């Protein structure tokens, strides 16, 4: 790790010198790229500089301890100083390891969010609608845009299925661990006896693909148009604005009817199709659906839950991190940080343990 840090420091020094190069200063693009690279390396370099200063102070303190007698008045002071410096050095080493850990290239992408009602009938569709509202509010709090692609509603204000793109820096990185089966336990509105029901909703979160990553041959794509359903009157229901894309090599189907324009609906559907194809490519899955996608949502059965929303106990439990939060109404209003922050720490700790157990500076 030390060699890696020294190489990063060397690269940082070269970039710093390049930033004042007249040729770079005359080119806005080169200046921007150089500045961005410096900003990315700066946190690592700062940690390394602090590490070297602390290491030097620790060596000096240990050298002093070697010259002192145990009954010397300074011996106890120097011993405590050595302990504090070693603790600081260990902390800096851990920070350096975290900064050097491999980053997922998908972290900065937009997210494709798909929510489907699973087991539980009408109650599942009602909860699917609540989950979608929760994620929309969370996105709004982060300044992200939620663009609905396709929406299939039930007759009781529920949602059978909804697909949307969440646009914003870090959207996929933040939402990625929301994928899976979400279980709800509560008394449904239609339950006269007051009996608690258990229902399930599946959530899939995919990184949006970039155009340069996925190319779709026109001969592989079947485009069908039809009249959109739902509210909208003559402007929607009597024109062939809805689009269904079928990727024939894999059998993947994407529909979009949210816009009045057929062209806009096709563009949105292509974004989702490319994201699904990217997922299949990265996961090396079968023709119709990747293994990662099936791992995310399972069959929609209640037993395959990653999280439980228990209304009688005002409790939300994430079963992966073994975390319970007694703020269910606040969570459903989009205040997801009490769940998302510890969950990310849980998976980050797992990742570091797997990749860096044996590494030392």
Q: Which one has a higher pLDDT value, 282 or 309?
A: 309
Indicate whether 234 pLDDT > 50.
Answer: no
Indicate whether 196 pLDDT > 80.
Answer: yes
Q: Residue 103 has what DSSP assignment?
A: P
Name the least confident of 105-114, 208-217, 342-351: 208-217
For residues 164-193, average pLDDT = 88
Look at residue 286 in the predicted model and tell me its pLDDT. Answer: 35
Q: Residue 135, Cα to own-chain centre: how many angstroms?
A: 13
Look at residue 74 in the predicted model and tell me its pLDDT. Answer: 83
Identify the burial level of 211 via C-beta atoms within 10 angstroms of its C-beta, where 0-12 means exposed, 13-18 middle and 19 or more buried.
Answer: exposed
Between CA 118 and CA 200 the distance in angstroms is 5
For residues 81-97, average pLDDT = 89
Q: Which one has a higher pLDDT value, 308 or 289?
A: 308
CB distance 246 to 224 below 8 Å: yes
The two tokens of residue 351 are 């990742």
Name the least confident of 42-46, 150-154, 266-270, 351-355: 351-355
Look at residue 288 in the predicted model and tell me its pLDDT. Answer: 38
| DSSP β-ladder status, 305-310 and 180-186 | parallel
DSSP string, 217-259: -GGGEEEEEEPPPSS-THHHHTS--EEEEEETTTTEEEEE-SS
Between CA 299 and CA 6 the distance in angstroms is 49
Q: What is the value of pTM for the model shown?
A: 0.58
Name the least confident of 127-136, 229-238, 342-351: 229-238
Alpha carbon separation from 314 to 186, 304, 331 (Å, rounded)? 10, 21, 10
Q: What is the mean pLDDT of the chain?
A: 83
Going by pLDDT thresholds of 50, 70 and 90, the confidence category of residue 186 is very high
Indicate whether 195 pLDDT > 80.
Answer: yes
Question: Mutual orientation of helices 28-67 and 73-100 as an angle, nearest 10°?
Answer: 150
Look at residue 214 in the predicted model and tell me its pLDDT. Answer: 72
Going by pLDDT thresholds of 50, 70 and 90, the confidence category of residue 296 is low
Indicate whether 100 pLDDT > 70.
Answer: yes
Going by pLDDT thresholds of 50, 70 and 90, the confidence category of residue 103 is low
**Any idea which residue has 């994407």 for tokens?**
254
Look at residue 340 in the predicted model and tell me its pLDDT. Answer: 93
Q: Which one has a higher pLDDT value, 235 or 110?
A: 110
Contacts by residues 12-16 (CB-CB < 8 Å, ≥ 24 positions apart):
12/38, 12/41, 12/42, 12/45, 15/41
């Amino acid at each position: 790790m030390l060699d890696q840090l020294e190489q990063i420091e060397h690269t940082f020094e070269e970039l710093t010198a390049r930033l004042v190069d007249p040729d770079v200063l005359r080119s806005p693009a080169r200046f921007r790229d150089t500045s961005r690279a410096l900003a990315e390396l700066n946190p690592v370099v700062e940690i390394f500089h602090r590490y070297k200063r602390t290491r030097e102070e620790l060596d000096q303190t240990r050298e002093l301890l070697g010259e002192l007698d145990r009954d010397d008045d300074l011996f106890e002071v120097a011993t405590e100083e050595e302990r504090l410096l070693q603790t600081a050095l260990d902390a800096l080493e851990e920070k350096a390891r975290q900064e050097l850990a491999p980053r997922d290239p998908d972290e900065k992408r937009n997210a494709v969010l798909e929510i489907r009602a699973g087991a539980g009938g009408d109650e599942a569709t009602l909860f699917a609608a609540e989950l979608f509202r929760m994620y929309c509010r969370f996105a709004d709090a982060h300044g992200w845009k939620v663009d609905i692609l396709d929406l299939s509603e039930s007759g009781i204000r529920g949602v059978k299925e909804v697909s949307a793109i969440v646009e914003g820096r870090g959207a996929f990185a933040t939402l990625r661990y929301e994928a899976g089966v979400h279980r709800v336990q509560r008394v449904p509105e239609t339950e006269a006896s007051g009996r608690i029901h258990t229902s399930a909703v599946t959530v899939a979160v995919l990184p949006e693909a970039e155009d340069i990553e996925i190319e779709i041959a026109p001969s592989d794509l079947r485009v069908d148009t039809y009249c959109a359903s739902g509210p909208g009157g003559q402007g929607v229901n009597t024109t062939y604005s809805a689009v269904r894309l079928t990727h024939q090599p894999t059998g993947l189907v994407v529909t979009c009817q949210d816009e009045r324009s057929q062209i806009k609906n096709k563009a949105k559907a292509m974004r989702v199709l490319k994201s699904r194809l990217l997922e299949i490519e990265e996961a090396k899955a079968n023709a119709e659906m990747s293994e990662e996608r099936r791992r995310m949502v399972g069959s929609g059965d209640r037993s395959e839950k990653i999280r439980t929303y228990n209304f009688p106990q005002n409790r939300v439990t994430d079963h992966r991190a073994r975390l319970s939060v007694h703020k269910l109404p606040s969570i459903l209003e989009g205040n997801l940080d009490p769940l998302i922050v510890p969950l990310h720490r849980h998976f980050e700790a797992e990742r570091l343990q797997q990749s860096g157990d044996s590494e030392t500076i």
